[in-house]
Amino acid sequence: MTRLRFAPIAAALPATVPFVGPEALERQSGAPFRGRLGANENGFGPSPRAVEAMAQAAAEAWKYGDSDSHELRGALSALHRIRPENIMPGEGIDGLLGLLVRLTVAPGETVVTSDGAYPTFNYHVAGFGGRLHKVPYRDDAEDPTALIAAAHDRQARLVYLANPDNPMGSWHSGRRIAAMLDELPGTSLLVLDEAYAEFAPDDAIPEIAAEDPRVIRLRTFSKAYGLAGARVGYAIGPAALIAGFDRIRNHFGISRISQAGALAALQDRDWLEQIRNQVAAARIRIAAIATENGLAALPSAANFVAIDCGRDGAFARALLDALARDGIFVRMPGVAPMDRCIRVSCGPQAELDAFAEALPKALQSLG
């Protein structure tokens, strides 16, 4: 028997990278991007209070982080007015999704999602032996009715929905999301990804009790709080489910530096409001740039805007590549008909100026 042997599930999977990072793309091109507008990062940056807290915590980086994230958990508990037992911090939503799938999905069990929705979730489902069933978007938004129907048909273990949605920026009302819970089959848990919740209209956020056994909600410090590199997110759910994470999680996965930054960011509500205003202004600017070039911006409740290029996915891909050659990093949805769009993250004025300068040249180069 060879020493180098993968476990059966991993051995059956191709090597997969859900997203090629901008640094890898810069290495390939040999030049840095002048507009880093593709990863939905918060280019406006984290709270200065968070930066200061992380700098101070760096002196104690020789210590493991608090395995319970006690202070952060307490602050999140106060913010959401729920018990700490209903909150589980983790290494970003990506890390929490992996833990959730591992905790709840047995090999061969079905998970329902939308075709074109967040691919990292699919990556985890495949990695733990689940079976993915996808339903199409409807009118550039995830389709709750189709998701529920598929969950009944497939007796799905998990049903994934992002609200607001990535990659389109669309959203459903909180009432519609809450109504989904009454429509789920008894076998299913709704995985409600709320990574962009801080940018959404108030009526897009459902009123759901933390102890509701039909749903787990996921939030992040990567977007509105500007801490994507710190890798901090959290789950909100019934205490029995949240306690289950302790069976499999990396208890020391969130560093002291990251915990300190997240706690300070959470406490700086003025900075968060400033970020919301800057993102709202950037969405307006991106829409104006699209209109000036004969393209159409879709409504967005996130920190990015999907721009309809008016043609097909091949054209959008060519436009993406032309922009990259001019130093502008943006991304695009991977599934038709959404792949007629490019997706541009909100960013500082200088980077949007660079995008505004590059877009007409890129379009002209494509004829």
Q: What is the pLDDT of residues 39-60, one digit of tens each?
A: 999 999 999 999 999 999 999 9
Share of the chain above pLDDT 90, in %: 96
Mean pLDDT, rounded, for 83-94: 98
Rounded mean pLDDT, 165-179: 98
Instruction: Say whether pLDDT at 118 is over 80.
Output: yes
174-192 mean pLDDT: 97
pTM: 0.96
Q: What number is the average pLDDT over the span 200-211?
A: 97
The pLDDT of residue 19: 85
Q: In the chain, what are the domains? A: 19-45+270-366 (3.90.1150.10), 48-267 (3.40.640.10)
How far is the C-alpha of 211 from the C-alpha of 289, rounded, in Å?
A: 44
Residue 3: the pLDDT is 82
Q: Give the pLDDT confidence score for residue 18 in this predicted structure.
A: 83
User: Using alpha carbons only, how large is the chain's radius of gyration in Å?
Assistant: 21
pLDDT tens-place string over residues 266-290:
999 999 999 999 999 999 999 999 9
Task: Report the C-alpha gap between 74 and 77 in whole angstroms.
Answer: 5
Signed CA dihedral, 218, 250, 240, 262: sign only: negative
pLDDT tens readout for residues 71-84: 999 999 999 999 99
Say what the pLDDT of residue 178 is: 97
Give the Cα-Cα-Cα angle 125, 130, 133 (nearest 5 degrees): 85
pLDDT of 17 over the 90 cut: no
Please state, rounded to an integer, the average pLDDT across all residues of the chain: 97
Gap between the Cα atoms of 302 and 202, Å rounded = 13
Amino acid at residue number 228: A
How far apart CA 235 and CA 237 sit, in angstroms, is 6
pLDDT band at 1 (very low <50, low <70, confident <90, very high): low
User: What pLDDT shows up at residue 175?
Assistant: 97
Position 2 pLDDT exceeds 80: no
Per-residue pLDDT at 333 exceeds 70: yes
CA-wise closest residue to 164 among 121, 198, 114, 214: 198
